[in-house]
């Protein structure tokens, strides 16, 4: 909640984009990518999909924290003897971009709109996959606010949480709330798809929720249940249409939220 004290961050934040009119903050896994990389690792190298889904359902119901369930999922990968570098290689080969993301990113760049990845994943994995998908130069331009990893000399590894005292591990609202303190804040667009986005869902000006036919759509279920206003989108090409309407002054935030879908 916005009234609760901010959890202490073990990792730095990039400076706020104070002088911009619009800022895009987006989840990485399953939102910018076609498939959640941590789910991929857990399902294929860790304890498998059934146990992972049980964990997600427990998180959604509030019975366990995201932090604790997600740590167990990643531990199941590390405990099966898979090194961090091996995980990186597996993801570089198997994770693809949302088909509309490159055009979306180019539009944002041309219109002076920063795009920031806000992820519960680990920065080195995100950076490696992003470089493989869009090239090193573009990948270096994009800021990433995420968790990190501790790799031990013996090759064992574990997630290093940004906010170890928060049940979210990384409380994504902390990437949004400092903008609320500004006298003249930018309009904030947030994009997400899953349980790791629940902490951010209430705080953006315009929340986009990705809905995929072959997926669990946990954030959509959460937002419908909690009646959190949002726009559902299938891919970034559709989301771009709505973003353009707002950026180019053809529609207001309230108007697109009332529509609820990016057709």
Confirm whether 29 is a catalytic residue: yes
Q: Which of 7, 22, 26, 27 binds Mg ion (CB under 5 A)?
A: 27
Q: Which of 127, 189, 197, 122 is nearest to 162 (CA)?
A: 122
Instruction: Tell me, by CB under 5 A, how many residues bind Mg ion.
Output: 5
Cβ 29 to Mg ion shortest distance, Å: 4
The sheet carrying 115-122 orders its strands as: 157-160, 143-151, 115-122, 22-26, 187-192, 206-210, 231-233
Alpha-carbon span 205 to 119, nearest angstrom: 19
CB 64 within 8 A of CB 96: no
Can residue 39 be called a binding residue for Mg ion (CB under 5 A)? no
Q: Which is nearer to Mg ion, 97 or 247 (CB)?
A: 97
Q: Which is nearer to Mg ion, 193 or 232 (CB)?
A: 193
Footprint of Mg ion on 181-220 (CB under 5 A)? 193-194
Cβ 114 to Mg ion shortest distance, Å: 20
Q: Which of 7, 24, 25, 29 binds Mg ion (CB under 5 A)?
A: 29
Reading the block at residue 216, the tokens are 């669990």
Write the CA distances from 244 to 41, 113, 147, 252, integer angstroms.
35, 11, 31, 11
Reading the block at residue 171, the tokens are 């409380």
Cβ 216 to Mg ion shortest distance, Å: 10
Can residue 121 be called a binding residue for Mg ion (CB under 5 A)? no
Active-site hit among 19, 29, 39, 216? 29
Contacts of 49 (CB under 8 A, 6+ apart): 39, 42, 43
CB 200 within 8 A of CB 209: no
Can residue 30 be called a binding residue for Mg ion (CB under 5 A)? yes
Cβ 120 to Mg ion shortest distance, Å: 8
Confirm whether 68 is a catalytic residue: no
Active site residues: 27, 29
Q: Which parts of this chain interact with Mg ion (CB under 5 A)?
A: 27, 29-30, 193-194
């Amino acid at each position: 909640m916005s009234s609760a004290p901010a959890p202490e961050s073990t990792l730095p934040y990039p400076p706020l984009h104070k002088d911009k009119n619009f800022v895009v903050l987006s989840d990485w896994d399953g939102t910018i990518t076609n498939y959640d990389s941590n789910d991929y690792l857990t399902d294929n190298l860790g304890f498998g999909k059934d146990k992972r889904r049980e964990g997600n359902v427990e998180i959604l119901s509030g019975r366990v924290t995201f932090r604790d369930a997600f740590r167990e999922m990643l531990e199941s990968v590390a405990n099966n003897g898979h090194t961090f570098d091996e995980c990186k290689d597996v993801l570089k080969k198997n994770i693809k971009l949302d088909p509309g993301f490159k055009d979306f990113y180019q539009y944002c760049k041309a219109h002076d709109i920063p795009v920031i990845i806000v992820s519960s994943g680990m920065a080195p994995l995100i950076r490696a996959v992003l470089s493989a998908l869009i090239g090193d130069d573009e990948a270096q331009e994009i800021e990433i606010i995420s968790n990190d990893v501790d790799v031990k000399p013996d090759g064992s590894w574990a997630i290093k949480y940004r906010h170890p005292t928060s049940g979210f591990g990384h409380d994504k609202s902390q990437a949004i709330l400092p903008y609320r303190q500004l006298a003249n804040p930018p309009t904030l667009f947030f994009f997400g798809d899953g349980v790791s986005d629940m902490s951010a869902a209430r705080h953006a000006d315009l929340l986009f929720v990705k809905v995929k036919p072959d997926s669990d759509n946990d954030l959509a279920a959460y937002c419908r249940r909690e009646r959190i206003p949002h726009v559902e989108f299938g891919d970034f090409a559709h989301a771009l249409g709505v973003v353009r309407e707002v950026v180019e002054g053809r529609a207001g935030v309230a108007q697109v939220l009332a529509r609820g879908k990016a057709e």
